[in-house]
Amino acid sequence: MPNDPITHPESRRSFVRKGAAIAGGAAAIWNPPQALAAFGGAPAVTFPADKLKALTRWPRYGAAEKKALHDLIDENTFYNANAAFENDWKQYTKSPYVKAHMNGSSALTSMYFALDLPPGSEIMVPSYTFFATCLAMRFFGYVPIFVDIDPATACFDLDDAKRKLTPRTKAVVAMHSWGLPCEMDKIAGWCKEKGLILLEDSAHAHGASMQGRATGTWGVMGIYSFQASKVMPTVEGGMGMYQTREYFERAAAFGHYEDPVKFAKDSPVRAYEGTGFGQKYRMHPFAAAVARIQLSGLDQRNAVVSSNIRKFNDRVLHLPGLSEPRCRPDQKRVYYNANMLFVDAKKAGFDRNQLMRALKAEGVQVSMWDYPEQHKLKIYAEAKWWHHAPVIPANMPGDAQVNGTHIMLPLIHGEAPDLLDQYANAFEKVWARRTEVSKL
């Protein structure tokens, strides 16, 4: 692995040397002589734009993906790719049962169908998530209970879930935000104590694990998405993961009419041969072919991104008011979409908008994106769509804090020590002139 901190320790030491000076706090911040670019100074980032575009391009497809597609066309046995990918994924995640779907939303819908709970059952879900996590359940008469996120992780807030438990609550969905696993040991323990069914939305977390167990295997069912922006993209695609034969067969037969005939003769689902349960959610074989290639390089790609983030974050996280989502030592996280950092305006001495204006002037590609909070959207406020009306929380302080304090930096998919150094210089330069930044 190029510039891996384990195999190239000197490169990492040299990179973070500048950051060591600021470990003592604001008084020790490196104080470069340049004026802020926002006030006419030279920008800290001079890395060529074309090289940056190449390093941040996503998805990243190449000759192997093209060959896989050409081979599939030439062989004219398209659907073999689906079974082959399912087998690869099953081995990679050590899941007893898996089923490829056309996208993550169809995998979620099939998962909720497989639950086979009484209409009116309530399922705990984060409001800070994609709509399908919450909305797909309504087709089966289930109702969401909106749970907040922990502002230190942007993941499921177990304490808030405990406060919102109702007699109708039957299941919990943990969503691993931005590639960081939820604290699954604590959530699983509470679910076991309360007799709740644990489910997972791992759409952001390809390659992530906790205590050696892949995300998606802690719950009785879990899903992944392979949409174009995801950690393992196939443009579109999804995967369902199941810990029992019963859940697998119901979920598979919901969207794959060709599957019931494959099940054992004693399966209660086999009788639905030829129809399944009415949907067609088959993954496109082209997506399956691309997925096999993407999976073969998943861990390596994740390692490159993580190495670059560690080199950068370890240098700048000493800056007052700047932090990253908390990750426990027994968690292996990955990074979806961006390197997300948190900014405490009081400690930093400027607000997020002022910081972003200053960093952009220095040449840093910095952004923000407020995750839509599901509980605020129209469809949850209209009782006609639901078995009974969902409770709309008055506020979600965790959601609000994460949405209101984060910034996002691009993921770097290759060796780029000069770029990382220039980005870190830009941050240090901005923090060294906090009074000026606060006037932007």
Residue 16: pLDDT above 60? no
Instruction: List the single range of 17-31, 97-111, 145-159 with lowest mean pLDDT.
Output: 17-31
Residue 7: pLDDT above 70? no
pLDDT 10s digits, 89-133: 999 999 999 999 999 999 999 999 999 999 999 999 999 999 999
Q: What distance in Å separates the CA atoms of residue 94 and residue 92, rounded to the nearest whole number?
A: 6
Q: What distance in Å separates the CA atoms of residue 13 and residue 17, rounded to the nearest whole number?
A: 6
Residue 138: the pLDDT is: 97
Axis-axis angle for helices 285-296, 298-316 (nearest 10): 60
How far is C-alpha 208 from the geometric centre of its chain's CA atoms?
Answer: 9
Residues with Cβ within 8 Å of 10's Cβ and at least 6 positions away in sequence, in order, are: none
In terms of Cβ atoms closer than 10 Å to its own Cβ (0-12, 13-18, 19+), residue 314 is middle
Contact call for residues 206 and 92 (beta carbons, < 8 A): no
Q: Which two tokens stand for residue 374?
A: 């599901």
Q: What percent of the chain has pLDDT over 90?
A: 92
SS3 294: helix
Which amino acid, residue 339?
N
pLDDT confidence of 23, banded at 50, 70, 90? very low
Contact call for residues 239 and 99 (beta carbons, < 8 A): yes
Residue 274: the pLDDT is: 93
What residues pair up with 273 in beta bridges, in sequence order?
none
pLDDT confidence of 31, banded at 50, 70, 90? low
pLDDT 10s digits, 274-290: 999 999 999 999 999 99
DSSP-derived pairing of the beta strands 221-225 and 197-201: parallel
Q: Which two tokens stand for residue 436?
A: 């000026």
Q: What distance in Å separates the CA atoms of residue 278 and residue 27, rounded to the nearest whole number?
A: 66
Residue 231: pLDDT above 80? yes
pLDDT 10s digits, 363-418: 999 999 999 999 999 999 999 999 999 999 999 999 999 999 999 999 999 999 99
**Helix-, strand-, coil-residue percentages of the chain, each rounded to 5:** 45, 15, 40
Q: Where are the beta strands (DSSP E) in 71-113?
A: 97-101
Q: What distance in Å separates the CA atoms of residue 288 and residue 297, rounded to the nearest whole number?
A: 15
* b/e code 82-100 from CB counts within 10 Å (16+ = b): beebbebbbebbebebbbb
Residues with Cβ within 8 Å of 190's Cβ and at least 6 positions away in sequence, in order, are: 158, 161, 162, 196
Q: What is the mean pLDDT of residues 70-80?
A: 96
Residue 269: pLDDT above 50? yes
Residue 414: the pLDDT is: 97
For the beta sheet containing 406-409, the strands, ordered from the edge strand earlier in sequence to the opposite edge, are 322-323, 339-343, 406-409
Instruction: List the single range of 22-31, 255-264, 402-411 with lowest mean pLDDT.
Output: 22-31
pLDDT 10s digits, 301-358: 999 999 999 999 999 999 999 999 999 999 999 999 999 999 999 999 999 999 999 9
Residue 13: pLDDT above 60? no
Residue 49: the pLDDT is: 96
Q: Which two tokens stand for residue 235?
A: 């443009």
Q: What distance in Å separates the CA atoms of residue 158 and residue 160, rounded to the nearest whole number?
A: 5
Q: How many other C-beta atoms lie within 10 A of the C-beta of residue 181?
A: 30
Query: Which residue matches tokens 């879990």?
Result: 222
Which domains does the chain possess? 9-58+298-437 (3.90.1150.10), 63-296 (3.40.640.10)
- Residue 324's φ and ψ, nearest 5 degrees, are -120, 160
- Residue 200's φ and ψ, nearest 5 degrees, are -135, 140
pLDDT confidence of 5, banded at 50, 70, 90? very low
Q: Mean pLDDT over all residues of the chain?
A: 93
Q: What percent of the chain has pLDDT over 70?
A: 92
Residue 29: pLDDT above 80? no
Give CA separation, 298 vs 60, 206, 260, in Å: 11, 8, 32
Residue 18: the pLDDT is: 52
**What's the pTM value of the predicted model, to 2 decimals?**
0.91
Residue 28: pLDDT above 70? no
SS3 134: helix
Q: What is the mean pLDDT of residues 200-216?
A: 98
